[in-house]
Structures are given as C-alpha cells and as structure tokens.
Amino acid sequence: MAAQPWAPACPLSALKARAEMLRAVRAFFDAREVMEVQTAALAARGATDPAIASIAADDGRVLQTSPEHQMKRLLAAGAPSIYQIGPAFRAGEAGRWHNPEFTMLEWYRLGFDAPALMDEVAALVDVLLGAAAYDRRAYASLVGVPAAQLDACADDALDLRVAEALAEMPAGRVFITDYPARQAALARVSGPVAARFELVVDGVEVANGYHELQDAAVLRQRMLRDNVTRLERGLPEAPLDEALLAAHEHGLPDCAGVAVGLDRLLALQQGASSLAEVMPFPADRA
C-alpha cells in the first residue's frame, strides 16, 4: 500500500538511526571538550558565493546556507573550539543527494590546520560508518592538470573533470586536498593552492573544510570578486556580511573548520539511495 501523503517519507528505523547518530556526534565532541553552540538560522546577511543560492524572507533577511559566519563571530569573541548541529537552507537544491533544507554539522578547532582536521573528520566518520581506510588525492592529480596550470582552466571544465573522476572512483573514502587558489572560498592560500579539502565517501561528497582565512582585507576582496562573478552570471549581488568582516578585523584565531552533511552520512550508513529515504519530510512532503 502506498504511504499516505501526511505520513513521513522514511521508515521509523531511519528516525531511530538519526537519533543514535546525533547522540554519537555529541558524545564524540564531548569527549574532545568541543563546546556545542546554536546560532541564528535567519540572519541579516548570507554568503556571497555565486554557487550557493540563499532563501530570502519577506523582511530581507536570509535563511543561512551555513552557520559559518556566525560561528566565526563567536570565535573572534573568544569562544573555544565549537560545533553546531542544525538546519541549513539552499534555494534550488533538490535531487537524489540534495534538499532545500538539510542538517549540517559544522565545527571549528583552534590551532588545527587542514591535515589535523582531516584526521578528526576521519575519526568521526569511523564512529558513524565504521572504520575504513582513507586515501588523500590532490585536486590537481584528480583532474589531471598540474597545480601551476589550474588557474588557466575554466571553472566549468574543472567541475566536469571532478564529476567524471568521482563517477569513475571505486567505493571508498577519499580526501580531495589542495584546491586551486581561486576555489579557496574562505580558506587560506599558499601559492597556487588553497588549504581546502573535501571528503568523498563512496562517490558522495560529505564534508568541506578549510584552514581558515584570517585576513579581513583579503576576505573583503573575495566577497567583492564573488559579486562580480554573480553579475556576470546574471545573479543579483549579495550584500557583504559586514559583521563577519568586522569580526575578522577584530581577530579570528588560527583555526580550521569543516561542514558535514549529516543527512548524507545517515543515508550512507543506512544503505539508502537518496536523502528522501532518511528524511521524515523532504521537500515534496514538507
């Protein structure tokens, strides 16, 4: 019998597995003395990244695509290493591994660099999915282009190469490291590469992390460049988050941060073929 339209999309077993995963995540960070925080899901400003579309409220505020900006403001105010579990929102994201509203786990570790944070990400994923081996592949190696020549390649061409490489990759857990400098987002840069990584599990991207940029002037330049790209693509400009910039001017401590899609991890854990199988109310039922 087909499920009633009012009923949740996922089985009760998926709800129980989600509850267990949340308990395991909190226990993981409690053991490491990382403090849980909560920030606003609705805020005055959002990300300028042209690849991310925010959902706007009638009053001009936006649902946050990530808690990153506000968590960094906490760090600049003197917070210790912190994590947050909560909803994130992105317009136009619908499909097998996408939903406009999803559960994001994000954390920041004071004094960590990208390799140290990758080790911690792997430790958490081992807790949630079981222990396994991890490979690390530089972005240049993945796309078959020398790092020094990445800036000469169009972003669309690189994105296609990455998608093809991931589709051909055998099942397993792979950290992609050393992204091109122009794809740094909010990561620091050294020469032609950014201190950015992603974790791919069985072909599904589950984590995106940075050794965080601290320079407020460089951050402003990147935001302005994002808006140039947005206009070139026919997208509206995104107002700059002056509160985040002010926090950087005050002083963001040396840290590394990462965002993890918990729904995707849960789907992988449960052997599901889509997010809808582990969400009670995905977009078509919410």
Task: Report the C-alpha gap between 176 and 261 in whole angstroms.
Answer: 16
**Counting every residue, how long is the chain?**
286
Whether 230 has a pLDDT exceeding 60, the answer reads: yes
SS3 labels along 65-103: CCCHHHHHHHHHCCCCCEEEEEEEECCCCCECCECCEEE
pLDDT of residue 47: 95
pLDDT of residue 9: 93
Task: Report the C-alpha gap between 164 and 114 in whole angstroms.
Answer: 25
Task: Report the C-alpha gap between 212 and 81 in whole angstroms.
Answer: 13
Q: What is the pTM of this model?
A: 0.95
Report pLDDT digits (tens) over 134-150: 999 999 999 988 888 88
pLDDT of residue 159: 84
Task: Report the C-alpha gap between 216 and 166 in whole angstroms.
Answer: 34
Rg (CA), the chain: 19
* Whether CATH 3.40.50.1370 fits 12-277: no
Please answer whether residues 174 and 204 qualify as being in contact, where contact means their C-beta atoms are separated by less than 8 angstroms. Answer: no
Report pLDDT digits (tens) over 179-227: 999 899 999 999 889 999 999 999 999 999 999 999 999 999 999 999 9
Q: Which residues, 6+ apart, have CB-to-CB distance to 226 below 8 Å?
A: 48, 49, 50, 238
- Domain boundaries of the chain, sorted by first residue: 12-277
pLDDT of residue 93: 79
Report pLDDT digits (tens) over 156-175: 888 888 888 888 888 999 99
